[in-house]
Structure 1
Amino acid sequence: MNQYKIEPLSQYAHTTPPPSPQPLNFPVYNSAKAKTPEFFTYLNFMLQFCTIPKEENGMMKRFAEIGIVPGKAFDYSTMSDSEKKALIDGMAAGQAELDTMSKTNVKAPVLFGTSSNLLKENYPYRAYIASKNLYGNSSEEIWGIIYEVSASNKKLNGKNQYELRFEKNNLPPVSAFWSLSAYPVSQQFSGFNPSSSYTISSTRQSFKLNEDGTLTLYLQQQKPGEEKLSNWMPVPEGRFFLLLQLYQPKEEVLKGQWPSPKIIRMNNSSSQDSASVSLPVYPKLKQPALIRTAYR
């Protein structure tokens, strides 16, 4: 590393440096305000740095009618009472839709980065993908499955014990590798454990198969018995979600022919878990889209 240094391009090329940019006054972020109409203050500020696709110009014109304009200050106080109520009600309705969709574990064939190209105006699905990871790859590179609830429709929580079970000869079909990670809901990806104790990977673990050829992964805070240790992944305290990623998935995955594994809550004998439920295929996609939307 001592052999490298960073310097401006103009200094390296011995050219005249460009004029200094104007200072940017970033608005102070407040997570509580972000759930109120103050959100649009942040949105307007960030939109000035975005390239708006021409397909969404019509939508941006509609947004401008209520003050959503790139780089413009958003003044909620100038709205009439009816406009304020409509804005608040609209935000609540949108969040309710996302919360409803978040109760279903869904495959996401195009995770993150290129999703807008395929999902088009399916904004609820796009909002969910963005809430999990703003950037990413195409489905041919990474196929992901997100779990926020067990198959009995209970939110995942570190106080419980879970099993993720792959049927015989049904490990993720990939040309590269697959991984499973757990993230705290409260901190999203910033809460990822840097020591990687909240992730396991087919490249790093030697998993032990059951006698019937199935593979069971044990997801819990407490260390299990020695016979289960090779298949154990610790999980965060409190609510969390799981991300199962398949790197360079094979054709049966891309065609939606590979069945997703089950996640079963083991310390809830009254529930009978089953495989994850799939949402309807979005009609404008060339590939099946089974995607779920954001959480609080």
Structure 2
Amino acid sequence: MRITIISAIAGLLLLINPIAGLTEERAQPQDDWRESYAYNLGVAAMHYSYPYLRMAQVRWNWTMAESPHPEVQPNDALNQFWHASRLTDADWVEGGAPNNDTLYSIAMLKVVDEPFILSVPEMDRYYTFQLAGMDSDNFGYVSELTHGRKGGHYALLPPGWKGELPDGVEPVAEVPSPWILIAGRTYTAGPQDLAAVRSLQRQYRVAPLSQWGNAEVRSPEAEVFEPFDPAVDKLAVWKTINRMLSENPPLGDEKALMQFFKEINIGPGLDVEALDEASQRGLARAAKEGLAQIKQLHMAGAGELVKRNGWVYSTALGSAGAQGDFMTRTLHQSYAGIVANDPEEAIYYGGYHGSDGKPLNGSKRYRMRFPAGSEPDVDAFWSITLYDDKANMVQNEIGRYSIGDRSRGLVRDAQGGLTIAIQADAPVDEQVNWLPAPKGPFWLVLRTYQPGPSVLNEEWSPPAVTPGK
């Protein structure tokens, strides 16, 4: 691994609490060391285990809860596909910075006793089915890049499965956890293209092996627990995390972390209520403050990120945990995106600061200019999407949430350059393209789908986001 388990945790502890242990200014009652120890170790545990908490919430919302906008926000996706029927917009309130370029197809699968088979028709466009475990790391793909446009049938196998697959079914990977997420994306050129994409979606299938080929597939039942409620239980977050870790225990070197966090009863099969009262107080604080830190650190663009012209990115995204980069996994893979594509599929650039070094805020007006010939080098397409500090899109008067090479009516200047005006009010300049911003904090994601050599080789950089005078 690029970063060892112990050094990763040591780094988290140093970043979050530079002076760990008994650092409270107040006097220390006899048992307060237990509270301080549980707090400090608990904050590190939160930064490691956050993806499991996030996936528990997402799984419940997408399979059991009622969606207020089922046309854009997943529901009833347990062991079967849910399909978006229009491009994601501000009606999505799940966070996770969804794109505004593709129609999503989502399935939460429990793969234990037999394989599930994903069927894709012959395609006429960009598509990708991202396969992720409950730690938010990817373990495989079925996509235009990996399998072309010919269509086919692809098996997701339980660990150690030794059975036979039907003719014409190609094994893709063994699942890393009993529960997995399929995040499908199908390129959509705009409202005029929706009917064609919906036709493709109707041909996507996911079925257990025992039902594969049936005209009607009955979605297998599976227990999905509702995350514990922090409003009524101070240890709710940790109970949710422990249950998810029990269902989907970490593998490989990460088992060592479970031994580390076992001291505060965080891990598979452990009970935080069995701790003493002082340790429980420490964990309750760690949950609240650790979650606040994750949001703050994300908006600050923290972590082991490459910084270019005020933008940040990481080629660890998609499998940051497998590379030992748990900070990136939590902040920029799980919190920011729920999951993130592997670099070969898409590289994401996060814009958190203007060229003045200050956080982006709609109280200012910004410009971002691509000189002629300097737009991202991609084999598919690119876009820039704006989000609020909850990683949701922002309602605006023109219903525009992104700008990219698929945007209709782009305006270019006399030199062929493309200027994007990022501001809360409509720009007066007619030679710019307006990306509406909220009045307060916001951030940007520049997505490069199927990035070309200059992007993959880190030779290309986005232009700076420059505040106006």
TM-score relative to the length of structure 1: 0.69
Identify the residue that residue 463 of structure 2 maps to in structure 1: 261
Partner SS, residue 144 of structure 1: strand
- Code of the aligned partner of 2:278: D
Structure 1 residue 83: deviation in Å? 7.7
Contact 2:311 2:352 in 1 (8 A): no
Deviations 1:184-215 (A, max 9, x none): 113x24x4669961111211234333334433
1:57 counterpart = 2:262: no
Count, aligned residues: 256
Contact 2:265 2:275 in 1 (8 A): no
Contact 2:346 2:449 in 1 (8 A): yes
Q: How many percent identity over aligned positions?
A: 23
Structure 1 residue 115: deviation in Å? 3.0
Measured at CA, do residues 144 and 12 of structure 1 come closer, stay the same or move farther in structure 2, by a change above 3 Å? Answer: closer
Identify the residue that residue 350 of structure 2 maps to in structure 1: 146
Identify the residue that residue 402 of structure 2 maps to in structure 1: 199
1:115 corresponds to which of 309, 317, 320: 320
Instruction: Quote the Cα distance in structure 2 between the aligned partners of 1:6 and 1:213.
Output: 46
Contact 1:161 1:265 in 2 (8 A): yes
Structure 1 residue 164: deviation in Å? 1.5
Contact 1:98 1:128 in 2 (8 A): yes
Larger relative CO (CA 8 A, sep 6+): 1 or 2? 1
1:26 corresponds to which of 221, 226, 245: 226
Deviations 1:105-152 (A, max 9, x none): 5432437433333xx222112211211112232111111111122222
Instruction: Quote the Cα distance in structure 1 between the aligned partners of 2:249 and 2:319.
Output: 15
Measured at CA, do residues 28 and 192 of structure 1 come closer, stay the same or move farther in structure 2, by a change above 3 Å? Answer: farther
Partner SS, residue 321 of structure 2: helix
Instruction: Quote the Cα distance in structure 2 between the aligned partners of 1:259 and 1:33.
Output: 47
Identify the residue that residue 360 of structure 2 maps to in structure 1: 156
1:45 counterpart = 2:243: yes
Instruction: Quote the Cα distance in structure 2 between the aligned partners of 1:125 and 1:61.
Output: 22
- Code of the aligned partner of 1:263: V
Identify the residue that residue 435 of structure 2 maps to in structure 1: 233
Contact 2:353 2:359 in 1 (8 A): yes
Measured at CA, do residues 133 and 80 of structure 1 come closer, stay the same or move farther in structure 2, by a change above 3 Å? Answer: same
Measured at CA, do residues 37 and 114 of structure 1 come closer, stay the same or move farther in structure 2, by a change above 3 Å? Answer: same
CA root-mean-square deviation: 4.0
- Code of the aligned partner of 2:344: E
Measured at CA, do residues 131 and 25 of structure 1 come closer, stay the same or move farther in structure 2, by a change above 3 Å? Answer: closer
Partner SS, residue 42 of structure 1: helix
- Code of the aligned partner of 2:405: S
TM-score relative to the length of structure 2: 0.46
- Code of the aligned partner of 1:204: S
Identify the residue that residue 113 of structure 2 maps to in structure 1: none
Instruction: Quote the Cα distance in structure 2 between the aligned partners of 1:51 and 1:89.
Output: 22
Contact 2:228 2:237 in 1 (8 A): no
Q: Which runs of 5+ in 2 are unaligned?
A: 1-197, 302-309
Identify the residue that residue 103 of structure 2 maps to in structure 1: none
Query: Which has the larger strand fraction?
Result: 2
Structure 1 residue 262: deviation in Å? 0.4
Identify the residue that residue 78 of structure 1 maps to in structure 2: 275
Identify the residue that residue 223 of structure 1 maps to in structure 2: 426
Q: Which runs of 5+ in 1 are unaligned?
A: 270-296
Deviations 1:24-67 (A, max 9, x none): 5423444x799x76432221122233241212011111112211
Structural mapping, 1:178-197, within 5 Å:
178-186=382-390, 188-189=391-392, 191=393, 197=400
Partner SS, residue 48 of structure 1: helix
Measured at CA, do residues 111 and 239 of structure 1 come closer, stay the same or move farther in structure 2, by a change above 3 Å? Answer: farther
